[in-house]
């Protein structure tokens, strides 16, 4: 399998505060990978670094045979990385459909995701397309956020805690979509608090603790105890 | 009849004020920036058109078109090279820089053109008028200014609500960081916004310059009128801004009828009154 | 500032031998030097030429205005470009009180301050409704309204303005004693009185701002400016402090305006409410020296004085240059000359921050 996206000894900072320490991360073409870890472990920071919202060393991040560590976010997004941000972060003054359309603003490709296909994925969004995103339920908002990210037809979709604050049935629905998204040729990275669910969904996982990778591998190869240790510390 | 005439003249004047105001409110809407040099940019635009028309012998429409392009580029460059560096949480640096720009433009124009009053020559057009009904004459130039203001608002509405660029503007205005995740380079969006603001200023300058005299010192007053139209109309609504301009125009015209010296004061007082009674403006946008 | 010769305040923090200090050795030295400078400035009229006294009047008034703007904008977040409203009102009240009501100028000056404060108190709640940067233009509108109203005030010459009749200052309190004391003519004595007034005002302003900036109120206000979250939690209180600050600065600016126009002895709406004279220069001073520092404007005003001295004859070119300098400063040295220097060298003559020191 060819590596699509990788970090090499990635450090990340907020001002003087270091949030990531020498993280090595890898994602192959077509793969689904989970990043798990406790609150404040640095999961969101990793995704923000990948997508360019946090600037890094030039060669700390590698994507599609380019070193992109120091490129600005819009450029990286245009190369085919999309992030569903933590807390959804929809555009309040745009309608549902406009939120989806703006997702295609810097689209690298036009296929396979477009308004029609996203509406097929989330039929309820078609009904509420002219509606205001603030009036929607959390689950529907999450659908908009995912749809918006898909509209750019990314090679890699980064999902930050897409189950946060949603009812279990809705979470179930949303996770059922991941295979369909992968079927469209998109690799997926999911950040999740619910470790069990995450591990059921992916091929490989990374566990972060206080900014460091404490465990990585295939879900089948590790015991629950290993993960718990890596998650909470010894 | 005199009452109706006053109202009509005031409303027509409001078209010009709305044109002043659109550029100001546009960049505030997109990037929360208040350009204290806005009025001076309008005056600068008027001088550019004047130079095009007199020194280069261009017709007024051609000179206007060239000025629109020039001012757009100026605005784009201004944002990318100057304002971008100071835009952030702290609202003071951009205010100070644009205030400095105001001083620079005013005095630059004074150096280049002197303090004399100028006017754009629109030929016989500027004096022609239409008799709407018996005793109510409407100048063609003011009427055209109002029509142009409406046309500009329609165009901006179209841009904002019907195009990908417009969605990018609104998304960036909501949240510039998340907008970047859409592949939107907010720096270019801001620069285009300032460019459009200055391009609209050219239209405003021409609408103003063919019916009234201008000189390098009148910029700040145009800024105040623009601002008053925005606040009277209510933030975030282009049609509100047009209405705000009209309220301001009518207040000034009524004031002038009472005593010519009261014209400007009446406008300011109307603004303060609206701020007192209706702080969110007369026609606020639905969403805050 | 004299009574602040030892500006060290301290309090124990735990047992570890640490203490919170505001003052530094340097700041104590600076306070002593400043005290000597002030004493020197008080006795200066005994030796100095009239031209120097007049120059210093300009320096002191501009410095006072810059400090007042600085505390409003830097601490209160009230970025105004309409301070000329209070300068002009101060001047007009002085003229009205002396010319029309026959009051002594020295009595008219506090009256001017009170009137300016009253206007500030009335207009403040209205202006505070304007969002962030729009407050700036709103304050400008208020200044324009004041200008236009004064232009309508025919007893003081309407739009063309009027001069202060000689009788007003000829019998001014304190004129005779000063004449006798320094053995000078009446016009010189008047300049000296104005000079002392401006000196008192500028020293009092700086001392008051320094005390305010280090007080609980000042720190609370600084916190609201720096953090949105904090400003929400203490929002109401911050709003009151801000309103109070606005009124007090209105009073002080009105007093400065009255003194300025006592010196100029001629007033017109366009000059008294000039945005260039009373706001542009003031912003220049603050920007060059460093916004949000107390030392900065002192540096800024001296630089303006020098530029004024050499370049003012160039008129528009001079102003153009000032504007360009300010823009370039904002871009490359946003903390101003003093602010940058103080940060690099870690020198704070009038320290505001509390630091932990091992005792
Ligand atoms: N904008 C920021 N400024 C300063 N520190 C930050 C910022 N964002 C995150 N941090 C810090 O960086 C560390 C990692 O944060 P991050 O958001 O990446 O954690 P996370 O694993 O996503 O946690 P959660 O599960 O709560 O989302 C935390 O200690 C956090 O406090
Ligand atoms: Mg997170």
Shortest CA gap B225–chain A (Å) = 28
User: H or E segment at A99?
Assistant: helix A96-103
Subunit contact A53:B181, Cβ cutoff 8 A: yes
Chain A residue numbers touching B184 (CB-CB < 8 A): 74, 102, 105-106
Q: pLDDT tens digits for chain B (288 residues)?
A: 788 999 999 999 999 999 999 999 999 999 999 999 999 999 999 999 999 999 999 999 999 999 999 999 999 999 999 999 999 888 999 999 999 999 999 999 999 999 999 999 887 777 788 887 777 888 888 899 999 999 999 999 999 999 999 999 999 999 999 999 999 999 999 999 999 999 999 999 999 999 899 999 999 999 999 999 999 999 888 999 999 999 999 999 999 999 999 999 999 999 999 999 998 999 887 543
- Write out the two tokens for B275: 């701020």
User: Environment class of residue B76 by beta-carbon count within 10 Å: exposed (0-12), middle (13-18) or buried (19+)?
Assistant: buried
Of C126, C287, C331, the CB nearest to B272: C126
Pocket test for ligand 1, best of A19, A37, A49, A88 (most atoms within 8 A of CB): A19
Query: CA Rg, chain A, in Å?
Result: 17
pLDDT band at residue C10 using 50, 70 and 90 as cut-offs: very low
pLDDT of residue B132: 77
Distance in angstroms (rounded) separating the CA atoms of residues A180 and A32: 12
B167 reaches A (C-beta below 8 A): yes
pLDDT band at residue C28 using 50, 70 and 90 as cut-offs: confident
Q: Which residues, listed in sequence order, are joined to residue C20 by a DSSP beta bridge?
A: C11, C356
pLDDT of residue C9: 44
The rounded Å distance from CA A49 to ligand 2 centre is 12
Q: Is A37 in the pocket of ligand 1 (CB under 6 A)?
A: yes
Of A92, A93, A102, the CB nearest to B182: A102
CATH code of the domain covering residue C288: 1.10.3470
Shortest CA gap B155–chain A (Å) = 19
Q: Count CB-CB contacts under 10 A for residue C274.
A: 18
Q: Which atom of ligand 1 is nearest to the CA of A38?
A: 25
3-class state of residue B181 by DSSP: coil
Subunit contact B183:A92, Cβ cutoff 8 A: no
Could you tell me if residue C26 is inside a domain? yes
Instruction: Say which DSSP state B214 is in.
Output: B
The rounded Å distance from CA A82 to ligand 2 centre is 16
- Write out the two tokens for C46: 């005994």
User: H or E segment at B156?
Assistant: helix B140-162
Per-residue H/E/C for chain C:
CHHHCCCCCEEEECCCCEEEECCCHHHHHHHHHHHHHHHHHHHHHHCCCHHHHHHHHHHHHHHHHHHHHHHHHHHCCCCCCCCHHHHHHHHHHHHHHHHHCCCCHHHHHHHHHHHHHHHHHHHHHHHCCCCCCHHHHHHHHHHHHHHHHHHCCHHHCHHHCEECCHHHHHCCCCHHHHHHHHCCCHHHHHHHHHHHHHHHHHHHHHHHHHHHHHCHHHHHHHHHHHCHHHHHHCHHHHHHHHHHHHHHHHHHHHHHHHHHHHHHCEECHHHHCCHHHHHHHHHHHHHHHCCCCCCHHHHHHHHHHHHHHHHHHHCHHHHHHHHHHHHHHHHHCCCHHHHHHHHHHCCCCCCCCCEEEEC
Subunit contact A102:B175, Cβ cutoff 8 A: no
Could you tell me if residue C4 is inside a domain? no
Domain count for chain C: 1
Query: A interface mutation test: which of B30, B161, B165, B167 has the most A CBs within 10 A?
Result: B167
Distance in angstroms (rounded) separating the CA atoms of residues C277 and C262: 16
pLDDT of residue C6: 41
pLDDT of residue C112: 98
Tens-digit pLDDT profile for residues C62-116 = 999 999 999 999 988 899 999 999 999 999 999 999 999 999 999 999 999 999 9
Q: Does the ipTM exceed 0.90?
A: yes
Q: Do chains A and B touch (3 or more CB pairs under 8 A)?
A: yes
pLDDT of residue C230: 52
Instruction: Say which DSSP state A21 is in.
Output: E
C160 reaches B (C-beta below 8 A): no
Of C137, C152, C331, the CB nearest to B227: C137
Question: Over 60: is that where the pLDDT of C14 sits?
Answer: no
pLDDT of residue A49: 96
Q: Which residues, listed in sequence order, are joined to residue C357 by a DSSP beta bridge?
A: C19
pLDDT of residue C16: 61
Asked if A65 and A112 count as a contact pair (C-beta separation under 8 A), the reply is: no
pLDDT of residue B135: 77
Pairing mode, strands A156-160 and A81-84: parallel
Asked if B88 and C129 count as a contact pair (C-beta separation under 8 A), the reply is: no
Could you tell me if residue C3 is inside a domain? no
Pocket test for ligand 1, best of A38, A42, A190 (most atoms within 8 A of CB): A42
Pocket test for ligand 1, best of A37, A43, A211 (most atoms within 8 A of CB): A43
The residue whose CA is least distant from atom 18 of ligand 1 is A42
Q: Is A17 in the pocket of ligand 1 (CB under 6 A)?
A: yes
Tens-digit pLDDT profile for residues A43-67 = 999 999 999 999 999 999 999 989 9
Of C74, C141, C330, the CB nearest to B97: C330
Distance in angstroms (rounded) separating the CA atoms of residues C331 and B133: 57
pLDDT of residue A1: 63
User: H or E segment at B144?
Assistant: helix B140-162
The residue whose CA is least distant from atom 7 of ligand 1 is A14
3-class state of residue B281 by DSSP: coil
Subunit contact B168:A105, Cβ cutoff 8 A: yes
pLDDT band at residue C12 using 50, 70 and 90 as cut-offs: very low
Q: How many residues in chain C?
A: 359
Domain boundaries, chain A: 3-232
- Write out the two tokens for C240: 């009151």
Distance of CA B121 to the CA centre of its chain: 20
Of B82, B102, B224, the CB nearest to C144: B224
pLDDT of residue A60: 94
Could you tell me if residue C1 is inside a domain? no
Q: Which of residues 323-342 of C touch B (CB under 8 A)?
A: 323-324, 326-327, 330-331, 334
Going from the C-alpha of B125 to that of each of B210, C57, C313, the distances in angstroms are 9, 55, 43
Average pLDDT for residues A97-116, to the nearest whole number? Answer: 90
Q: Is A16 in the pocket of ligand 1 (CB under 6 A)?
A: no
* Domain A3-232, CATH homologous superfamily name and number: P-loop containing nucleotide triphosphate hydrolases (3.40.50.300)
Q: Count CB-CB contacts under 10 A for residue B263.
A: 17
Question: Chains A, B: CB contacts under 8 A, how many?
Answer: 70
pLDDT of residue B286: 59
Provide the domain limits for residue C68: 10-358
3-class state of residue B219 by DSSP: helix
Pocket test for ligand 1, best of A11, A14, A21 (most atoms within 8 A of CB): A14
Instruction: Give CATH for domain B2-116+138-277.
Output: 1.10.3470
pLDDT of residue C227: 58
Question: Over 90: is that where the pLDDT of A74 sits?
Answer: yes
Locate the chain A residue with the closest alpha carbon to B171. Answer: A91
Could you tell me if residue C84 is inside a domain? yes
Distance in angstroms (rounded) separating the CA atoms of residues B136 and B131: 6
Asked if B37 and B102 count as a contact pair (C-beta separation under 8 A), the reply is: yes
The rounded Å distance from CA B175 to ligand 1 centre is 19
Question: Over 80: is that where the pLDDT of C18 sits?
Answer: no
Tens-digit pLDDT profile for residues A161-187 = 988 888 888 888 888 889 999 998 899
Candidates A151, A80, A93, A102; CA nearest to A122 is A151
3-class state of residue A32 by DSSP: strand
Place of tokens 């400016």: C225
Subunit contact B180:A94, Cβ cutoff 8 A: no
Candidates A83, A84, A81, A67; CA nearest to A9 is A67
Subunit contact A85:B182, Cβ cutoff 8 A: no
Q: Is A85 in the pocket of ligand 1 (CB under 6 A)?
A: no
Q: Count CB-CB contacts under 10 A for residue B105.
A: 22
Instruction: Say which DSSP state A129 is in.
Output: T
Q: Which atom of ligand 1 is nearest to the CA of A43?
A: 21
Subunit contact B167:A93, Cβ cutoff 8 A: no
Could you tell me if residue C161 is inside a domain? yes
Q: Is A163 in the pocket of ligand 1 (CB under 6 A)?
A: no
Chains in touch with B (3+ beta-carbon pairs under 8 Å) read A, C
Closest ligand (CA of A211): 1
Q: Which atom of ligand 1 is nearest to the CA of A45?
A: 18
Of B32, B82, B262, the CB nearest to C132: B32
Tens-digit pLDDT profile for residues C117-170 = 999 999 999 999 997 889 999 999 999 999 999 999 999 999 999 999 988 888
Distance in angstroms (rounded) separating the CA atoms of residues A193 and C303: 59
C320 reaches B (C-beta below 8 A): yes
Domain boundaries, chain B: 2-116+138-277
More confident residue, C117 or C2: C117
Of B175, B177, B184, the CB nearest to A105: B184
pLDDT of residue A234: 62
Chain C residue numbers touching B235 (CB-CB < 8 A): 131
Distance of CA C77 to the CA centre of its chain: 16
Chains in touch with C (3+ beta-carbon pairs under 8 Å) read B
CB contact set of C209 (below 8 Å; sequence gap of 6+): C67, C70, C71, C294
Distance in angstroms (rounded) separating the CA atoms of residues C234 and C236: 6
């Amino acid at each position: 399998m060819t590596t699509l996206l990788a970090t090499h000894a990635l450090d990340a900072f907020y001002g003087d505060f270091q949030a990531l320490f020498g993280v090595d991360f890898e994602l192959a073409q077509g793969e689904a990978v989970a990043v798990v870890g406790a609150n404040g472990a640095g999961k969101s920071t990793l995704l923000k670094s990948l997508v360019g919202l946090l600037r890094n060393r030039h060669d700390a991040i590698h994507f599609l045979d380019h070193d992109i560590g120091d490129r600005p976010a819009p450029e990286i997004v245009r190369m085919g990385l999309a992030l569903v941000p933590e807390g959804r972060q929809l555009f309040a003054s745009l309608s549902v459909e406009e939120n989806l359309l703006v997702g295609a603003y810097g689209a690298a490709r036009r296929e396979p995701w477009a308004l029609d296909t996203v509406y097929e994925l989330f039929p309820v969004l078609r009904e509420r397309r002219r509606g205001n995103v603030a009036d929607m339920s959390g689950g529907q908002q999450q659908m908009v956020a995912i749809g918006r990210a898909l509209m750019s037809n990314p090679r890699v979709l980064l999902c930050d805690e897409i189950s946060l604050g949603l009812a279990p049935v809705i979470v179930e629905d949303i996770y059922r979509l991941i295979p369909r998204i992968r079927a469209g040729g998109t690799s997926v990275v999911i950040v999740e608090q619910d470790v069990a669910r995450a591990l059921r969904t992916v091929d490989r996982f990374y566990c972060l603790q206080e900014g460091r990778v404490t465990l990585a591998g295939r879900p089948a190869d590790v015991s629950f105890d290993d993960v718990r240790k890596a998650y909470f510390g010894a | 009849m005199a009452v109706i005439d006053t109202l009509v003249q005031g409303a027509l004047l409001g078209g010009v004020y709305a044109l002043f105001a659109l550029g100001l409110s546009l960049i505030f809407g997109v990037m929360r920036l208040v350009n204290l040099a806005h009025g001076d940019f309008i005056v600068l635009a008027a001088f550019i058109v004047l130079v095009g028309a007199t020194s280069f012998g261009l017709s007024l429409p051609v000179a206007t078109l060239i000025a629109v392009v020039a001012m757009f580029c100026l605005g784009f460059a201004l944002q990318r090279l100057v304002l971008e560096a100071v835009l952030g949480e702290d609202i003071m640096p951009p205010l100070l820089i644009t205030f400095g720009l105001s001083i620079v433009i005013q005095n630059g124009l004074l150096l280049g053109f002197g303090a004399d009053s100028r006017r754009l020559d629109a030929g016989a057009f500027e004096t022609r008028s239409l008799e709407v009904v018996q005793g109510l004459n409407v100048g063609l130039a003011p009427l055209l200014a109002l029509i142009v203001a409406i046309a500009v608002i329609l165009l901006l509405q179209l841009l904002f609500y019907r195009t990908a660029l417009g969605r990018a503007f609104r998304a960036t205005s909501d949240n510039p960081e998340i907008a970047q995740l859409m592949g939107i380079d907010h720096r270019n969006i801001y620069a285009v916004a300032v460019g459009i603001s200055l391009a609209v200023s050219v239209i405003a300058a021409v609408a103003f310059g063919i019916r009234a005299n201008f000189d390098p010192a009148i910029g700040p007053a145009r800024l105040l009128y623009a601002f008053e139209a925005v606040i009277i109309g209510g933030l975030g609504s282009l049609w509100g801004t047009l209405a705000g301009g009209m309220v301001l125009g009518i207040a000034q015209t009524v004031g002038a009828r009472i005593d010519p010296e009261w014209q400007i004061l009446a406008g300011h007082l109307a603004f303060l009154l609206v701020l007192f009674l209706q702080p969110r403006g007369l026609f606020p946008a639905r969403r805050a | 500032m004299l009574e602040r010769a030892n500006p060290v305040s301290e309090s124990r923090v735990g047992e570890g031998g640490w203490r919170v200090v505001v003052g530094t050795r340097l700041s104590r030295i600076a306070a002593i030097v400043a005290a000597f400078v002030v004493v020197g400035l008080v006795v200066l009229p005994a030796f100095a030429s009239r031209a120097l006294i007049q120059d210093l009047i300009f320096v002191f008034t501009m410095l006072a205005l810059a400090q007042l703007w600085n505390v409003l904008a830097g601490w209160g977040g009230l970025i105004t470009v309409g301070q000329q409203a209070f300068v002009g009102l101060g001047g007009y009240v002085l003229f009205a009180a002396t010319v029309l009501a026959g009051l002594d100028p020295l009595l008219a000056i506090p009256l001017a301050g009170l009137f300016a404060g009253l206007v500030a108190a009335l207009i403040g709640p209205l202006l505070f409704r304007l969002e962030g940067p729009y407050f700036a233009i709103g304050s400008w509108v208020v200044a324009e309204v004041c200008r236009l109203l004064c232009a309508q005030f025919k007893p003081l010459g309407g739009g063309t303005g009027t001069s202060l009749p000689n009788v007003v200052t000829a019998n001014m309190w304190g004129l005779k004693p000063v004449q006798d004391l320094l053995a000078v003519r009446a016009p010189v004595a008047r300049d000296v009185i104005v000079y002392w007034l401006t000196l008192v005002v500028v020293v009092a302003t700086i001392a008051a701002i320094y005390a305010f900036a280090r007080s609980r109120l000042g720190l609370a206000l600084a916190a609201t400016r720096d953090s949105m979250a904090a400003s929400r939690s203490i929002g109401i209180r911050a709003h009151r402090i801000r309103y109070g600050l606005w009124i007090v600065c209105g009073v002080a600016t009105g007093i400065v305006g009255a003194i300025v126009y006592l010196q100029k002895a001629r007033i017109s709406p366009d000059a008294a409410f000039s945005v260039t004279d009373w706001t542009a220069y003031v912003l220049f001073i603050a920007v060059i020296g460093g916004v949000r520092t107390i030392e900065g404007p002192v540096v800024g005003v001296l630089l303006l004085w020098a530029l004024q001295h050499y370049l003012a004859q160039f008129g528009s070119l001079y102003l153009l240059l000032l504007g360009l300098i300010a823009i370039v400063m904002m871009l490359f040295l946003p903390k101003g000359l003093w602010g940058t220097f103080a940060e690099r060298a870690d020198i704070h003559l009038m320290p505001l921050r509390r630091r932990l020191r091992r005792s």
